[in-house]
Amino acid sequence: MCGIVGYIGSNGACKILIQGLKRLEYRGYDSAGMALVGNDGRLNVHKSKGKVANLEQTAAAGDTEGCLGIAHTRWATHGEPNDINAHPHVSQSGDIALVHNGTIENYAVLKKVLSDHGVEFKSETDTEVLVQLIEYIKLTSNCTLSEAVREALLQVEGAYAIAVVERGEPDTLIVARKSSPLVIGVGDNETFIASDATPIIGYTDKVIYLENDEMAVIKRGEPINIVSISSNLPSKIDIHKLRLSLAQLEKGGYDTFMLKEIFEQPATLCDCLRGRITPDGRRVVLSGVELNKQKFIEAERITLVACGTSWHAALIGKRLIQDFCQIPVEVEYASEFRYGNPVLGPKDIVISISQSGETADTLAAIQIAKQKGAFVYGVCNVVGASIPRATDSGTYIHVGPEIGVASTKAFTGQVTVLTLLALAIGQLRGAIDEEKVYEIASALKTMPKTIEETLKVDTEIQKLSRIFTYAHNFLYLGRGYNYPTALEGALKLKEISYIHAEGYPAAEMKHGPIALIDHEMPSVIIAPSDSLYDKIISNVQQVKSRGGAVVAIVSKGNTAMNDIADFCIEIPEVPECLTPLVASIPLQLLAYYIAVNKGKDVDQPRNLAKSVTVE
């Protein structure tokens, strides 16, 4: 949510910043801006409402000289998206410019104090308070910029990743973070900073992940200096190697990132499974579980916390863990868990699930779980993100960068890792027999091929999508393992096509939602040939007898459903616990094509951002 990028080196900063913003645009895209410090020290600020392409045009018409700069793409929290509220914000004198990702919670108090001292504000943002405070401290204490930044941050409550530059200082870039992420790319005589590593790829593979409560002063030609904001003591600098390639950030011939990501699922699941099932298919080996055997053996309860799509994966995880491990499992929205005074102790395991590894609510939930003595395990995609660094141990899903805002390949990666995790824990606790492990693990091993087979429904779904493009409402129904799949299908449609859709456990229909059914309300019903198939048939009939159109997702060879549903989409037959993996594919495609038919921007749907780093 909001992306920041910065550069200091010997090349023109403008081009590097614009390219970096484009790679970060999935984090927010309602306005963008940059501040450049020319080699002679002059400061130029360019801002534009809308996407980064608008900023590119605006900047091109002005002065873009300089080898130092900071830039920002915004997802509005305080103040509407317009040129004034866009970052960078500059201090009253116009000397200091700052970009910020996060929320300054005590901004109203600070604003009042500064206003009482004659500081005039231009924007409605919380961020402007910080830059004005820095200047106020610098002027009244007669200190250096870095001292003023540190002093200001000590007065600020909330979350931030910031980058600051100053007129007349073409050799200094200052960055700091608390709760919002910030990565420093270490090149040859040049340094990059960004909200995540994507803008840095192609320039350097050496990165430093700035820790919470750290501030870095980056001076041209000098080693990077990192200190703790609270103690001012120097921090130890760990340089990590990035393992991402430029090709992973490109559309690879597809029209959109979302379509690329849907179609790359056979390959991403291959990466996700690699080395995690023994060649004989009889054991699942996850190093995070192996290293913490005792914790998993002694656990009395597991709580899964996540948001959005990751929460849907958690619901599937709950069933998997219950079925294979015989441990009580709870699932909580991270945003509810964090304020719910959870009762936890050392026999509790909390599993946090997050694609980005930066979701503010999930991070806060982890902190609470740790404070209460639980062992916290992470299931994450982005290597080195805040969540995997905050958890005690974990497993990466390894599906590569997910750039389309609507999550697709991360969902199937999460469900795959949760399946592996449930099998690994079940084995450790002796709760699952060897034959069952073999059955599921063997089916998982061939899952990349099964998903490839499933993707052949593409053309059929494209045709089907035309029939439903103008529906105003949709119901998605499923039972058992596929109730969460229904929730996920509905979320995908809502997010990118802006059609209202609700997911429901199919049997709950008769307790209320059935009142909505008429010929204008289509239902997508997930009905693979599993233990609940006979039950869901009667739910389909209930919808049909009230005039609702039904699209049924059924197992290959199920011809009986043709007599009841209006449209049947066939998916390969797999063990019941793996049906969400295959059933989610046609749902992703249906949402995608309906949104494309409506002319929507599927990669950057309105109001959304990929990485939700604010509450």
Question: Which positions are annotated as active-site residues?
Answer: 2, 610
> Structure tokens of 189?
């005589």
Smallest distance from the beta carbon of 305 to ligand F6R, in angstroms? 10
- β-pairing, 89-90 vs 214-219, is unpaired
Whose Cβ is closer to ligand F6R: residue 496's or residue 552's?
A: 496
Smallest distance from the beta carbon of 484 to ligand F6R, in angstroms? 13
Smallest distance from the beta carbon of 113 to ligand F6R, in angstroms? 35
Whose Cβ is closer to ligand F6R: residue 392's or residue 495's?
A: 495
Beta-bridge partners for 166: 96
Residue ranges that bind ligand F6R, judged by CB under 6 A: 307-310, 354-356, 359, 362, 406-407, 491, 495, 612
Return the residue matching tokens 């200052």: 174
> Structure tokens of 401?
């960068």
Smallest distance from the beta carbon of 358 to ligand F6R, in angstroms? 7
Contacts of 30 (CB under 8 A, 6+ apart): 49, 50, 74, 75, 76, 81
Whose Cβ is closer to ligand F6R: residue 128's or residue 196's?
A: 196
Neighbouring C-beta atoms of residue 206, cutoff 10 Å: 15
Whose Cβ is closer to ligand F6R: residue 172's or residue 354's?
A: 354
The residue number with the shortest CB distance to ligand F6R is 308
Smallest distance from the beta carbon of 390 to ligand F6R, in angstroms? 13
> Structure tokens of 354?
């997050």
Which DSSP symbol is given to 284? B
As a whole number of angstroms, the longest Cα–Cα distance in the chain is: 82
Smallest distance from the beta carbon of 380 to ligand F6R, in angstroms? 8
Whose Cβ is closer to ligand F6R: residue 284's or residue 307's?
A: 307
Smallest distance from the beta carbon of 404 to ligand F6R, in angstroms? 8
Whose Cβ is closer to ligand F6R: residue 277's or residue 501's?
A: 501
Q: Which of 66, 72, 68, 16 is nearest to 49 (CA)?
A: 72
Neighbouring C-beta atoms of residue 356, cutoff 10 Å: 26
Return the residue matching tokens 């606790």: 429
Contacts of 118 (CB under 8 A, 6+ apart): none
Amino acid at 102: G
Asked if the peptide bond before residue 448 counts as cis, ω within 30 degrees of 0, the response is: no
Whose Cβ is closer to ligand F6R: residue 407's or residue 539's?
A: 407
Smallest distance from the beta carbon of 421 to ligand F6R, in angstroms? 16
Answer whether 484's CB lies under 8 Å from 313's CB: yes
Q: H or E segment at 36?
A: strand 31-37
Whose Cβ is closer to ligand F6R: residue 127's or residue 356's?
A: 356
Smallest distance from the beta carbon of 286 to ligand F6R, in angstroms? 19
| Rounded distance between C-alpha atoms, residue 531 and residue 253, angstroms | 41
Which DSSP symbol is given to 233? P
Amino acid at 185: G
Answer whether 179's CB lies under 8 Å from 1's CB: no
Whose Cβ is closer to ligand F6R: residue 292's or residue 355's?
A: 355
| Rounded distance between C-alpha atoms, residue 272 and residue 412, angstroms | 10
Q: Which of 23, 33, 194, 217 is nearest to 125 (CA)?
A: 33
Q: Is the dihedral of CA 235, 241, 243, 245 positive or negative?
A: positive
> Structure tokens of 255?
């029209």
| Rounded distance between C-alpha atoms, residue 367 and residue 95, angstroms | 38
| Rounded distance between C-alpha atoms, residue 602 and residue 403, angstroms | 11
Smallest distance from the beta carbon of 359 to ligand F6R, in angstroms? 3
| Rounded distance between C-alpha atoms, residue 81 and residue 290, angstroms | 48
First-to-last alpha carbon distance for the chain, in angstroms, is: 10
Whose Cβ is closer to ligand F6R: residue 362's or residue 419's?
A: 362
